[in-house]
Amino acid sequence: MHNASTMQPITGAKASAQARPATHGGSWKAWIPALLALFAIPPLLAGNPFYVHLAVLICINIIFVNGLSLISRTGQLSFCHAAFMGMGAFAAVICSTRLHTPFAVSVLAGVGVATVAAWLLGAVILRLQGVYFVLVTFCFGELFRLVLLEGGDLTGGANGIANIPPASIFGVALDSKLSFYFLAAACAFASTVLLVALFKTPRGHSLDAVGDNPELAEASGIGIQGSQMFAFLLGSAMAGFAGALLAHYLGFVSPESFSQHVSVAAIIMLVIGGRGSVLGPILGALIMTPLPELFRSAIETQNILYGITLILVLKFLPMGLVGIAARLRGGKGGAR
């Protein structure tokens, strides 16, 4: 698919991938048993519903941040990621509550709506770079929230939509936290494996090449906009999928559930975990997801803690937590 002139940036992407633990085959084989063991812990804590609840949210956030990570690998930073999560959630909920479609069909509808919206938006904004892209995505995310608020009976306005039926697979209702956890964990694991497999392919190497050096990648024949559009569509689809799962798990959605704070929280998870590794979203979700729940009674303290954590990571761990392993190995790559 690529001619000889495309081999230079792709080879460079492969070289940089050696420093990304999750995308390197040997490293993936090394920590995949640990990942499986990690997903197996919450069932052992089934006696404490709160811990299982946190585990479900962590799994959903892994899917959500995986999508943002994919977009970030092409050199773009989306501040409207929560909007696509909201599209997936509201589309799935409307299908479930108004059209009474099965859970799987509702989820597919949510993913489809998020993907189509990403394609329409991406065709317009992916020519933008840097702060201009960030500002436009920020405005789009806020515009989507305002549309939801003015959506009337369709979206429930500020009150949102309640009494959402629980997820159901093959006629079995996943109406308990533990039963839903198995679904969320399987989806989170599958989304991670999907990214690992993707970044071992020429398409994945091209995405890394575009993010590392877009001018060189374009000079070598790699389509910049095509690569960024692919990442934007797949990343937004993953956000929509996470939103559909979240809505059926919580049983309630509202416009404030998908505000800019959610997009910022996802970016913080990605930065803290590591932007250039598939392992990054997992670490970020594991650390940052429990904090809002633990500090729910003190919103001001929560925001201060977020800010302090982000500053410390950017100062001392610019590659994120995945960079610690690279430092221990004496590597100089890590996340980026």
pLDDT tens by residue, 227-252: 999 999 999 999 999 999 999 999 99
Tell me the pLDDT of the chain averaged across its residues.
84
pTM of the model: 0.86
155 neighbors 146 (Cβ within 8 angstroms) = no
**The pairing of beta strand 168-169 with beta strand 172-173:** antiparallel
The torsion defined by the Cα of 157, 235, 134 and 311, in degrees rounded to 10, comes to 100
How far CA 237 is from CA of 41, 229, 300, in Å, comes to 28, 12, 32
List, for residues 162-190, the tens digit of each pLDDT value: 999 999 998 899 989 999 999 999 999 99
Candidate from 101-105, 244-248, 286-290 with smallest mean pLDDT: 286-290
Side-chain half-sphere exposure of 15, counting CA atoms within 13 A:
8
Percent of the chain with pLDDT over 90: 53
Q: Using 50, 70 and 90 to split pLDDT, how confident is the model at 109?
A: very high
Question: Count of CB atoms within 10 A of residue 247's CB?
Answer: 28
List, for residues 299-333, the tens digit of each pLDDT value: 667 777 777 877 888 888 888 888 886 677 664 44
> Distance of alpha carbon 19 from its chain centroid, rounded?
21
Which contiguous run of DSSP H or E holds residue 168? strand 168-169
In the chain, the amino acid numbered 58 is I
**What span, in angstroms and rounded, lies between the C-alpha atoms of 205 and 324?**
24
What is the CA angle 282-302-336, rounded to 5? 35
- Name, in order, each residue with C-beta under 8 angstroms of 75's C-beta and a sequence gap of 6 or more: 129, 210, 211, 214, 228
**What span, in angstroms and rounded, lies between the C-alpha atoms of 291 and 269?**
11
Does residue 23 have a pLDDT over 70?
no
Query: What is residue 7's predicted lDDT score, i.e. its pLDDT?
Result: 35
List, for residues 45-71, the tens digit of each pLDDT value: 667 888 899 999 999 999 999 999 999
Q: For residues 68 and 22, which has the higher predicted lDDT (pLDDT)?
A: 68
β-bridge mates for residue 51, sequence order: none
**What span, in angstroms and rounded, lies between the C-alpha atoms of 16 and 19?**
6
**What span, in angstroms and rounded, lies between the C-alpha atoms of 60 and 45?**
18
Question: Count of CB atoms within 10 A of residue 43's CB?
Answer: 13
Query: What is residue 304's predicted lDDT score, i.e. its pLDDT?
Result: 77
